[in-house]
Structure 1
Amino acid sequence: MNFRLLPRGLRAASGALALLFVASASAQTVDNKPEVKAQVIEKITGIIEKYAYVPGVDFAKWPQLLAEAKPKIDAAKDDTEFQRAVNEALAKFGTSHIVLATPKQSEVRRTGSTVGVGISTQLTDNGELLIVRTVPDAPAERAGLVPGDTITEADGKKVEGSIAGIIGKEGTDVVLTVRHADDKVEKYVLTRRPFSTVRPEELTWIDKDTAKISIYTFDFSYDRENVEDLMNKAHKAKNLILDLRDNGGGAVINLQHMLGMLIPDAKPFGTFVGRSLVDRYVKEAKGKPDDLAGMAKWSDRKVKPFPNANVPVYKGNLAVLVNGFSGSAAEIAAAALRDEANATIVGTKSAGAVLVSMIVNASNGFMIQYPLSDYITAKGLRLEGTGVVPDVEAKDPRFHLPNAKDEVVDKAVALFAQSGKGAKSSGH
């Protein structure tokens, strides 16, 4: 079974850095169709009542939460409003990894592509949209837009902090008014078309001794061959920075693949605590059902890295970068590397959304993500709700432009230079 760990609310495109791969507005399946709502709700209810599990969480109260949400659900006129109403109810469980995705969101995740102009933007203080990344070969890049350009208007209307005017159907045009870094203003006519949302892993040499590998996801688009190639190229570096900022998580098996190149001897790095383990611990060890650390220590079913025959385990100094959008599998990776590979964590506290979950069909193109088990690190820590606290705090740049001064990377490099202080050699 391919367990997946994904962030709270499938939220990789929310928060301080909005990754606005502007998608087309698809046909709504809930548009004034109560029968579709009823079918989706029935499917969700069956899944939650039968399968959802987190130690200490009472999923039996779902009918009550659903009843409280009924007015908003009934009033929802389209997929987005319906999703919002359902997710508000699901959020009352107080746990991560329980969320409904619309058909459009599900399709983007499944195919790795969407329709739009291909930009990532951040909101400026005056409500304009600063382009921080253009997708290779997408309409914006092909038209000559670059990071540092600012969108002020879409089709003659001020954007006012919203991408609504940029969204549209495949084949339609949008006129963007853009102010360049030199304050020159130009208009661009862009035709919305399909483009890939996949962002390949990247290797950057910070200096002759320090390599940085950026892993943007552990989900479908995680490329094992590419990661192995980058790790082999970085193996000669004295210092390695693993950048997991904005990595919302993904599949456990991809996490285990990456850790196999960084943790020696396939050392266990944690334990998944599901319904069966809790039941066994109470019955066989006479333990308490809320003693998660105790049952994780007692269990003989540990999570381990996958040994890698293609890449030797890295033996230099290691730092891992995280922020508030590092979620789930990325959080497990950071904690595991600190515990088992002597890595230093740099950045800001991670999301604290660390549960094993499944993503399954909820009918009519909707998908429901629900939790199956909790996770405890090898040191006995529960990351859900608490996150990974960095050893050294450093804030991301205000705007994530390619050439922006990056305090997080700078602090990691400074640690490496401190000869045995801060960043720590893995020593094997």
Structure 2
Amino acid sequence: MKPLRRTFSVFACLIALGAAAFAQQTPPETSTPPATPPLTTLTADQRKEVLDSISTFVSTRAFVPGVDFARWTEFVEKRRESIEASDTVSGFTREVNRALREFGFSHINLRTPTASANRRSGSAVVLGLSTRPVEDGLEVTAVVANSPAADARFKVGDVVLEVNGAKPTSAESLRPEEGQTLAVKVKHPTGEQVEVSMQARRMATAREDTLTWPEKNVALLKIHSFSNGYDQRKIENHLDVAAKAELLILDLRSNGGGATTNMNHLLSLLLPDATPFGVFVNRRMADQFKEATQKEPTDPVEIAKWTERKTQTRKRSLEPFKGKVVVLVNRGSASASEIVACALREHKAAPLIGQRTAGAVLASVYGRLPHGFELQYPVSDYVSMPAGIRIEGNPLQPDIEALPNRALDEGIAKAIEWFKKPIG
């Protein structure tokens, strides 16, 4: 049961990309089949083995300040009947995740064997659109180029009303098997309703980050993820080219997070060397706080203010960007992207433009479970510095609101407007 490297990918981001929180912008298709047929059903013994392993991780390795992980037994018992009645992999995973959500925080999630394999392989069976729940169904927040969703002419702002005749309640409704065709009813922002068919296909999950110039002296750097696809050398090249710009628009919309090393890498290219921008509060730090102060380590903000172990930027070969910065965010901006946005607002006076973020900023790792399952679980909390903001459960609010628009990218337009005539 060896966990992988620490990441900040949001555990339940509403993205219909299999298990991934990102997808390929110019996606090479792959027809390579799985080595073995995916597990589809579970015996009672298999369910018990997975649950027992989850209990071990939750009780001995997971950590969030002030959280009583012993309550996991209570949450399981509450759903025992529905869990034991689920003999399919998808049904079992769904019921276990409902129990895990009782904790009330992010980054604790059971992944199916297929989703686990997709995460490690860098490919997934996808439709290629990101969504969030709304009253009518699922609102589209992003569409991957050259994906089945793009082929079906999905646009940001569309609302999925029905999938195979049923109202969708989560992104799980848009995660079909490879080759499966879905009948989808869609409502456009104009109110027009249409029905389309989409067939999922396997695609690489990494997207290439891009630098464009919406106007002279205004550079737009789009970063899709801090995980699969983040190329430090290419990001440095982009920012080297962008150094002549007076304004850098950093687009972190629908960026679900990723590795801490990549997050620090980007901040180190935008802020001065050794800038302390936050504290990761882990179990060891909490224990040291309790020993030194004789207080219960339940408040991550108090612990963060007490410790001297602040996370800092590191000197890179490239000088930090000297111009103004604006950060574009939305409800799909989570984890590492929220940390970056908050740090730039606190240390570079960068306004956040768009919609509120996800409020999901626990550092997490992955633990392998029996029968190919995988558990994502948190190991530390995060508090920004110097403001002392705990983002987990407290989404960042935009300084300037910009809503999705099919015809005009309002976020970019408002960023340029702010640059030409600063608001507030």
Pair 1:334 & 2:335 matched: no
1:269 positional shift: 0.4
Percent identical among aligned pairs is 34
1:257 positional shift: 0.7
Report the 3-state secondary structure (helix = DSSP H, G, I; strand = E; otherwise coil) of the residue aligned with 1:110: helix
Q: Does structure 2 conserve the Cα–Cα contact (< 8 Å) formed by 1:287 and 1:295?
A: no
| Structure 1 residues not aligned, in runs of 5+ | 423-428
Pair 1:55–1:160, CA change in 2 (3 A): closer
User: Which range moves more in the overlay, 216-225 or 62-71?
Assistant: 216-225
Report the 3-state secondary structure (helix = DSSP H, G, I; strand = E; otherwise coil) of the residue aligned with 1:360: strand
Q: Does structure 2 conserve the Cα–Cα contact (< 8 Å) formed by 1:124 and 1:130?
A: no
- Measure, in 1, the Cα distance between the counterparts of 2:352 and 2:196: 44
Q: Does structure 1 conserve the Cα–Cα contact (< 8 Å) formed by 2:83 and 2:96?
A: yes
Pair 1:94 & 2:104 matched: yes
Deviation per CA, 1:326-365: give whole Å up to 9, x if none.
1111111111111122211112221111111111212211
Q: Does structure 1 conserve the Cα–Cα contact (< 8 Å) formed by 2:22 and 2:225?
A: no
Identify which of 164, 169, 190 aligns with 2:178.
169
1:28 positional shift: 5.4
| 1:68-83 pair list within 5 angstroms | 68-83=78-93
Q: Does structure 1 conserve the Cα–Cα contact (< 8 Å) formed by 2:329 and 2:355?
A: yes
| Structure 2 residues not aligned, in runs of 5+ | 187-191
Pair 1:303–1:20, CA change in 2 (3 A): closer
Q: Does structure 2 conserve the Cα–Cα contact (< 8 Å) formed by 1:159 and 1:165?
A: no
- 2:365 — aligned with what? 358
Report the 3-state secondary structure (helix = DSSP H, G, I; strand = E; otherwise coil) of the residue aligned with 2:105: coil
- Measure, in 1, the Cα distance between the counterparts of 2:54 and 2:80: 14
Q: Does structure 1 conserve the Cα–Cα contact (< 8 Å) formed by 2:15 and 2:130?
A: no
1:118 positional shift: 5.6
Pair 1:23–1:128, CA change in 2 (3 A): farther
- 2:270 — aligned with what? 262
- 1:290 — aligned with what? 298
1:112 positional shift: 1.9
Say which structure, 1 or 2, has more relative contact order (CA 8 Å, 6+ apart).
2
Q: Does structure 2 conserve the Cα–Cα contact (< 8 Å) formed by 1:264 and 1:341?
A: no
Identify which of 113, 116, 121 aligns with 1:111.
121
- TM-score normalised according to structure 1 size: 0.80
Q: Does structure 1 conserve the Cα–Cα contact (< 8 Å) formed by 2:272 and 2:320?
A: yes
Q: Does structure 2 conserve the Cα–Cα contact (< 8 Å) formed by 1:3 and 1:357?
A: yes
Q: Does structure 2 conserve the Cα–Cα contact (< 8 Å) formed by 1:139 and 1:193?
A: yes
Q: Does structure 1 conserve the Cα–Cα contact (< 8 Å) formed by 2:13 and 2:332?
A: no
Q: Which amino acid aligns with 1:61?
A: R
- 1:412 — aligned with what? 415
Q: Does structure 1 conserve the Cα–Cα contact (< 8 Å) formed by 2:402 and 2:414?
A: no
Pair 1:252 & 2:285 matched: no
Q: Does structure 2 conserve the Cα–Cα contact (< 8 Å) formed by 1:214 and 1:244?
A: yes
Pair 1:305–1:89, CA change in 2 (3 A): same
Q: Which amino acid aligns with 2:335?
A: S
Report the 3-state secondary structure (helix = DSSP H, G, I; strand = E; otherwise coil) of the residue aligned with 2:39: coil
Pair 1:386–1:164, CA change in 2 (3 A): closer
- 1:220 — aligned with what? 228
1:147 positional shift: 5.8
Deviation per CA, 1:128-168: give whole Å up to 9, x if none.
998974544x6787xx765669999x9xx879779979944
Q: Does structure 2 conserve the Cα–Cα contact (< 8 Å) formed by 1:131 and 1:147?
A: no
Q: Which amino acid aligns with 1:210?
A: V
Q: Does structure 2 conserve the Cα–Cα contact (< 8 Å) formed by 1:53 and 1:371?
A: yes
Q: Does structure 1 conserve the Cα–Cα contact (< 8 Å) formed by 2:109 and 2:375?
A: yes
- Measure, in 2, the Cα distance between the counterparts of 1:175 and 1:290: 48
| 1:316-395 pair list within 5 angstroms | 316-379=323-386, 380-390=388-398, 392-395=399-402
1:416 positional shift: 0.6
RMSD: 4.1
Pair 1:42–1:164, CA change in 2 (3 A): closer
- 2:55 — aligned with what? 45
Pair 1:133–1:372, CA change in 2 (3 A): closer
- TM-score normalised according to structure 2 size: 0.81
Number of matched pairs? 404
Pair 1:2 & 2:8 matched: no
| 1:228-243 pair list within 5 angstroms | 228-243=236-251
1:302 positional shift: 1.3
Report the 3-state secondary structure (helix = DSSP H, G, I; strand = E; otherwise coil) of the residue aligned with 1:295: helix
1:244 positional shift: 0.9
Pair 1:92–1:320, CA change in 2 (3 A): same
- Measure, in 2, the Cα distance between the counterparts of 1:245 and 1:132: 9
